[in-house]
């Protein structure tokens, strides 16, 4: 997605008041899927205004937690609020430098050009799932928050066995890619990730009664190689420049 002139000016104004570091830093940021589009969009602005280089590492929340617990080092970590809280409790992140960044709901998508199912009510959504010959979503075992929630939702709706028989489980990455390739007829994932794939049409969000919002937050690692640069990145990610991007990426500011 192109960065609009307004967003560039806002980011420039925000970062322009901070002096550039005497020596550039390589800032390593770990981000779970849904928020990665915001990081990637703002990365060129961050680099041009600070002189720092951003190294992005994308994975599911569960996989990133395992990597961190295994000793891999990052300067900034962006995950679900619950995961960030756990990392603070275990001394992996600095408690006083945690920022809530966004929230995002789960959506339903199809490949562009195919009929769009009705999903406006819980019953309609349930029927759309049962009618679809195949349904793609993140494998709960991979640790993705949307996949874990959907597996629980299917149980609550009484259709877990029916979905299991035609599920296309995505180990990590974008469900929309499976729609475009024709591997699945219906896809479910966080809205920001569905919108990230060309050739995918967003049908809409889950009905309000069964919607699940994932809250994302960021924190500075206690072992950050460049803590000052990490703070600069977090400041940008909660600035007006980032907020202006959220809607276009299927997200919204967090609600306190």
| Cβ-proximal residues to 29 (8 Å cutoff; 6+ apart), any chain | 39, 54, 55, 56, 57, 74, 75, 76, 77, 78, 233
CATH 3.40.190.10 fits 106-210, yes or no: yes
Query: What is the model's pLDDT at position 85?
Result: 93
168-179 burial by CB neighbour count: b if 16+ within 10 A, else e? bbbebbbbbbbb
CB distance 206 to 154 below 8 Å: no
The model's pTM is 0.77
- 106-210 and 5-103+215-249 share a CATH fold: yes
Give the domain ranges of the chain. 5-103+215-249, 106-210
H or E stretch covering 32:
strand 26-32
DSSP state of 209: G
Q: How far is CA 187 from CA 191, 202, 211, 240, in A?
A: 11, 9, 15, 31
CB distance 217 to 78 below 8 Å: yes
CATH number belonging to the domain at 5-103+215-249, selected among 3.50.50.60, 3.40.190.10, 3.40.50.11540, 3.40.50.620: 3.40.190.10
- pLDDT tens digits for the chain (256 residues)? 444 544 544 555 455 445 444 458 899 999 987 788 899 999 999 999 899 999 999 988 888 999 999 999 999 999 989 899 999 999 999 988 899 999 999 999 999 999 999 999 999 999 999 999 999 999 999 888 899 999 999 999 999 999 999 999 998 789 999 999 999 999 999 998 999 899 999 999 999 999 999 899 999 999 999 999 999 999 999 999 899 999 888 999 987 6
CB distance 46 to 235 below 8 Å: no
CB distance 109 to 176 below 8 Å: yes
Distance CA 71, CA 113 (A): 46
């Amino acid at each position: 997605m192109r960065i609009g002139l307004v967003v560039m000016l806002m980011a420039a104004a925000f970062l322009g008041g901070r002096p550039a570091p005497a020596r550039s830093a390589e800032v390593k940021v770990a981000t779970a899927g849904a928020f990665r589009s915001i990081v990637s969009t703002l990365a060129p602005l961050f680099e041009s205004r600070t002189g720092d280089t951003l190294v992005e590492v994308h994975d599911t929340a569960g996989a990133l937690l395992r990597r961190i617990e295994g000793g891999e080092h990052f300067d900034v970590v962006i995950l679900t609020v619950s995961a960030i809280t756990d990392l603070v409790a275990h001394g992996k992140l600095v408690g006083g430098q945690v920022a809530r960044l966004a929230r995002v709901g789960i959506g339903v998508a199809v490949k562009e050009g195919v009929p769009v199912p009705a999903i406006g009510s819980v019953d309609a959504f349930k029927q759309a799932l049962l009618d679809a010959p195949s349904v793609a979503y993140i494998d709960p075992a991979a640790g993705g928050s949307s996949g874990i929630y959907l597996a629980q939702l299917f149980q609550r709706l009484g259709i877990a066995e029916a979905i299991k028989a035609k599920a296309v489980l995505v180990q990590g990455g974008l469900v929309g890619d499976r729609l475009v390739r024709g591997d699945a007829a219906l896809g479910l994932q966080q809205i920001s990730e569905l919108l990230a794939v060309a050739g995918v049409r967003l049908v809409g969000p889950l009905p309000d009664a069964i919607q699940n919002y994932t809250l994302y937050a960021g924190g500075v690692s206690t072992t950050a190689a460049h803590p000052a640069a990490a703070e600069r990145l977090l400041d940008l990610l909660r600035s007006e420049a980032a907020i202006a991007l959220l809607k276009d990426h299927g997200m919204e500011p967090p609600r306190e």
